[in-house]
Structure 1
Amino acid sequence: MSTNASILPISFLKINHRDHHPELNQVVLNLITEHQAGIPLMMQAADGNQVDTQAFSTIVKSHIESLKSASHQHITLIADAALYTTLILKHLKTQKIDFISRIPMRLKKAKEFVQTSTNQTFNSIDENYSYIKQTLTYEDIPQQWILYRSGYTQTKQSSTIKKELLQKSLKEAKEIKRLTKLHMTEHPATQRVLNRTPRKGIFSVTPF
């Protein structure tokens, strides 16, 4: 059996999982597939703590150029928001590769787009989904940004917010009830409790 000195081991690591299972070890598989049949075009195993933005940059530089040279068709790259960095966008522009990607909400322009969308009329797709789009130039690349809205998601989020507010109100009411049982001028525990009480709420406490 021949050995290759360039082959490096990968690390299975416990990290902050997005699916809320920190007890599980994780390993990452970088994968590029063909869009119609889902045939893998490139696979690369990586450490469990791989940073997506750094990995995407390496993949785009090392592999997309080879795929473009081997293909006789125009390439459109579809990826997550980790693709949308200044370095990668410049590389895609240089290679004249189109892309479809989610926009990171940390961007100022993305936040402004969402904020101004409240005053715009969304175009209906079906009974659940609607959208608006904006044409702009970002990182010297002409683009179309599309904001989708889901009626089901909005209803679910509204229900979750109401539940969280109710739980917070019940907790604050319980704390206020406990404070009213303490003597405001003589009991030293009162001041300690008040110091721990969140400053965002305004409370009226009547001592006995």
Structure 2
Amino acid sequence: RPDLKQFVLNMITLHKSRTPIWVEALDGNTVDKTSFSRTIQSFLQQVQGAETPMLFVADSALYTKKTIGELSGKIQWVTRVPETVGLVRHLLSEVPLEAFRPGGEDLPGIRFCEVGTTFGGIPQRWILVYSQTSREREEKTLSRAVSREKKALEASLRALSQTVFSCSEDARTAWEEIFGKARYHRASECVVSEETGHVRSGRPKKDAKPEIQGYRISGSFEPDPEGIDRELHRKGFFVIASNHLDDKALPAPEMIALYKSQGTSIEPGFR
């Protein structure tokens, strides 16, 4: 199938010159989280004898307990911690922005806070980073997501209003299912009305009373400020980790700059 990756390339480049020094072609089904460790260890076998551990900068696929466990002691690494790691969400929600220091002239719009922790049995430095540029970009992305959800809910409610349910409980269940999935909106009004009529065909008798044939549901919704604020609170923040524990040899601002530069070393060469 042409829409599937036929192969992937794992590459290692020098930091400043961006010169590729290792290229490894892998099967298209290869997963970064498992291949990074093998690629780095294959490279290390060819460059044995280094006096000090090499420093590798990689994206968050490197950050798994298995990978950092295999590589720590062989190399020093700098990578981003995935938001799926529970401690990331906890720190970003508990540490106030006032505790973050300015990044300085070399890191405009950046603030950071450093903490020490252990993950997967490996002592590490974690740098909590706030980026104003990322915040503004992610706010726009969130705004589009809120707009998309609003349109989807409007379409779902239109379809729901045309449905006749056999009982009021079924109608309310369908309503709750729609808003149970909503992240940025909440129901503000819900009305269940009886659908009445004469079941038998032909002209009804004068004294015949309409019978309940089913139930319809209608209502409205509004933005959920708490849901939006909860999502917005985390925007612009991310966490960088390293097993390089000497903050004099590798200060936090330099670690941030190293991580930010890794996105400009390989990908642009293929554009």
Whether TM exceeds 0.5 here: the answer is yes
Indicate the residue corresponding to 1:115 in structure 2: 93
SS in 2 for 1:143: strand
C-alpha separation in 2, matches of 1:140 and 1:195: 47
Q: Which has the larger radius of gyration?
A: 2
Please say if residues 81 and 104 of structure 1, whose CA atoms lie closer than 8 Å, have aligned partners that are also in contact: yes
Alpha-carbon displacement from aligned partner over 1:104-150 (angstroms, at most 9, x marks no partner):
22222223223324x34243446644333322222343322223332
Kindly tell me: are residues 156 and 26 of structure 1, through their superposed partners in 2, closer, same or farther at Cα, counting changes over 3 Å? farther
Kindly tell me: are residues 136 and 163 of structure 1, through their superposed partners in 2, closer, same or farther at Cα, counting changes over 3 Å? same
Please say if residues 34 and 40 of structure 1, whose CA atoms lie closer than 8 Å, have aligned partners that are also in contact: yes
Kindly tell me: are residues 198 and 207 of structure 1, through their superposed partners in 2, closer, same or farther at Cα, counting changes over 3 Å? same
- Report the CA distance between 1:50 and its aligned residue: 0.5
C-alpha separation in 2, matches of 1:129 and 1:152: 13
Q: 1:3-14 counterparts in 2 under 5 A?
A: 14=1
From 104, 126, 129, give the equivalent of 1:145.
126
Is residue 15 of structure 2 the alignment partner of residue 27 of structure 1? no
- Report the CA distance between 1:93 and its aligned residue: 2.4
Question: Which residue type is aligned with residue 194 of structure 2?
Answer: P
SS in 2 for 1:38: coil
- Report the CA distance between 1:35 and its aligned residue: 1.1
Question: Which residue type is aligned with residue 13 of structure 2?
Answer: T
Indicate the residue corresponding to 1:92 in structure 2: 71
Question: Which residue type is aligned with residue 94 of structure 2?
Answer: T
Please say if residues 56 and 76 of structure 2, whose CA atoms lie closer than 8 Å, have aligned partners that are also in contact: yes
Indicate the residue corresponding to 1:7 in structure 2: none
Indicate the residue corresponding to 2:28 in structure 1: 48
Uncovered stretches (5+) of structure 2, i.e. residues with no partner:
180-186, 196-271
Indicate the residue corresponding to 1:156 in structure 2: 140
SS in 1 for 2:192: coil
After TM superposition, the score normalised by the length of structure 1 is 0.68
Is residue 82 of structure 2 the alignment partner of residue 104 of structure 1? yes
Indicate the residue corresponding to 2:162 in structure 1: 178
Indicate the residue corresponding to 2:115 in structure 1: 134
Which structure is higher in strand share? 2
C-alpha separation in 2, matches of 1:24 and 1:91: 30
Alpha-carbon displacement from aligned partner over 1:24-72 (angstroms, at most 9, x marks no partner):
5431011111111112221111111101122112123222243352x45
* % identical aligned pairs: 23
After TM superposition, the score normalised by the length of structure 2 is 0.54
Kindly tell me: are residues 104 and 67 of structure 1, through their superposed partners in 2, closer, same or farther at Cα, counting changes over 3 Å? farther
SS in 2 for 1:205: strand
Q: 1:39-78 counterparts in 2 under 5 A?
A: 39-69=19-49, 71=50, 74-78=53-57
Please say if residues 8 and 27 of structure 2, whose CA atoms lie closer than 8 Å, have aligned partners that are also in contact: yes
Question: What is the CA RMSD across the aligned residues, in angstroms?
Answer: 3.2
Q: Give aligned pairs, total.
A: 179
C-alpha separation in 2, matches of 1:171 and 1:145: 44
Is residue 161 of structure 2 the alignment partner of residue 206 of structure 1? no
Between 1 and 2, higher relative CO (CA 8 Å, sep ≥ 6) is seen in 2
- Report the CA distance between 1:173 and its aligned residue: 3.9
C-alpha separation in 2, matches of 1:41 and 1:198: 56
Indicate the residue corresponding to 1:18 in structure 2: none
C-alpha separation in 2, matches of 1:32 and 1:104: 21
Please say if residues 131 and 148 of structure 1, whose CA atoms lie closer than 8 Å, have aligned partners that are also in contact: yes
